[in-house]
Structures are given as C-alpha cells and as structure tokens.
Structure 1
Amino acid sequence: MARSQNTFQKKEREKKRLQKRKEKEMKKEERRANASGGGLDEMMAYVDEFGNITDTPPDPLAKKKEIKASSIEIGVPKQEKEDMTAERRGKVSFFNESKGYGFINQDGTQERFFVHVNGLTEPVQEGDKVGFLLEKGMKGMNAVSVRVIR
C-alpha cells in the first residue's frame, strides 16, 4: 500500500496559510469597526485659485474669471528673434594665437561667444575691448567681424 501524499511539511504549510487568511480577515474587520466614516466627502481635496490644495470646497457664488483658451500657452514660450545685424561690444576673455581661437564676453549680459581667427578684421589680445557681429555656427553663436575698439 502506498504512503499518503500529505507530508508533515505540506500539512504545516497549509496550517500557516489558513492562519494568515484568518489574521487578514480579523484585521479587515477591525479596520471596518474603527473606520471614522464620512465616506467620499471626507477624502475629497480641492484646489483653490492659486493652486493650493484645501479641504474646503470652492464657493459656487464666487465671481469666476473668464480665460480664453487661445491665451493658454502649452510648452516653452517662443524666443524673440535677436537682431544679429546690430554690433555688440565686449571684452576678449581668452585668445590663443597659436590655435587661432578665443572667447569674447559681451558687455552687460556676460554671454560668452566663440571667435575664430577667420572672424577677426585685425589682431586681438586678451583684455581688448572689441565690437563684433554674431553668426550662427555649428555649436552656437560665433563672433565675426571682430574689431578692436580704441
């Protein structure tokens, strides 16, 4: 005659599983008994006109502000076109004559622009005040027609 398929370990696992199920049911009943009630209204949250979360509903009699859907901008606002034909002024912050390039810091904004020896109208050195135009390059804006201001 064959042995029973229910081993001791199987019986113990089944007991533990049943015990866990009973504990889970007890916790569920306990939560129901201790629930404060209120239902959905208790859980609701509202957003006021400034974007703050509150627990009080908005006043339906309050004056509402009309907003046109066409005035709402989604995404990054478009940048205004800069006038690249206007001459800018700046100071040469770095220039390597052997490699033929450098950088110019624009006066006021302190933006930094790349300058190549081909964009120079006369030789420049570090610290020179210069006037220049901008041109779109491969990696950003480049200074061209660079001349020293005396």
Structure 2
Amino acid sequence: MASINGTVKFFNTTKGFGFITPDNGGKDHFVHISAVQRSGVDGLYENDKVSYDVETGRDGRESAVNLTLLK
C-alpha cells in the first residue's frame, strides 16, 4: 500500500488522539497517540505535514499508522 501525505488537523496530547487531513481529499483519518509513539515521532502539532499508512482496526474503523514527519 502506498503511503498517504497529509496535514495534521489537530492533535490533543492530553486525550491522546487527533485527525489528519489527506492531501488527496477524502475524509480525515484518526490518529492515536500509540501510533505516534510506535512511529518514533516526538509529537504531532497542527499543520504538521506527515506521510502515513491507513490501517483498519478490529472495529472496522480506519486509523493512521507508520507516521513520518515531512519537511
């Protein structure tokens, strides 16, 4: 699966989640703090540019994983 580029819409470090808006349009992707930590990213902030993959969880919902910060 090809990675998707997008922009962090918001990320709440207290609640441990946020959303990323994909550059190619479509619905925003949920991102959980555990995916950020597993990716080795120090933190996500509004308007950060990222590359990521989408994973479908056991509940059928999609979320962003394998995040990389873009310059």
Structure 1 length-normalised TM? 0.42
State how far apart, in whole Å, the 2-side matches of 1:110 and 1:90 are: 11
Alignment root-mean-square deviation, CA: 1.2
- 2:41 matched to 1:128? no
The higher-RCO structure (CA 8 Å, 6+ apart) is 2
Counting aligned pairs with the same residue, the percent is 35
- Equivalent residue runs for 1:67-82 within 5 Å: none
**How far apart are the structure 2 equivalents of 1:110 and 1:94?**
17
What are structure 2's unaligned runs of at least 5 residues? none
Question: What is the CA distance between 1:139 and its match in structure 2?
Answer: 4.8
Q: Please list every run of 5 or more consecutive structure 1 residues that lacks an aligned counterpart in the other structure.
A: 1-84
Q: Which has the higher helix share?
A: 1
Query: Which of the two has greater strand per residue?
Result: 2
Cα distance in 1 between the residues matched to 2:53 and 2:13: 20
Aligned counterparts of 2:31 and 2:22: Cα–Cα separation in 1: 12
Give, in angstroms, the shift of residue 86 of structure 1. Answer: 1.0
TM (normalized to structure 2)? 0.84
Residue in structure 2 matched with residue 111 of structure 1 by the alignment: 27
Aligned length: 66
**Which of the pair has more CA radius of gyration?**
1
